[in-house]
Amino acid sequence: MAIVLVMSADRVHLHHMDEFNFQAPAEVYASRGRGASKRPMTFHRFDNAAEAVRFVIETLPPEMLYGTVMEIGEARFLGNDIKRLYSSDEYPFQRAVSI
């Protein structure tokens, strides 16, 4: 069972992959790499987290991964967390890329 680190407004905690809800609505904030506050950011809203994860991994250029944050409610998932979600056994879509 994989675990991801989840940040919320007031704390950081571990989240078990088997508890992750790929059907929850998600928002993605993407920019190019670290130091993103000085670079333009794009925003995308998705009906479910599975679509958001697919967009980040399969559509965004790889160099944007580390400047990307996915939000589900108050939980925030960073680039490496999104990669782990995409690689998890629970991910509901067929993968187009191997990471």
User: From residue 19, how far is each of 12, 14, 48, 59 by CA, in Å?
Assistant: 16, 11, 15, 26
Compute mean pLDDT per 10 residues along the chain, 99 residues long, and list them.
53 58 96 60 94 97 91 91 94 90
pLDDT of residue 26: 98
Tokens at residue 45, please? 């809203």
| Collapsed DSSP state (helix, strand, coil) of residue 14 | strand
pLDDT of residue 30: 92
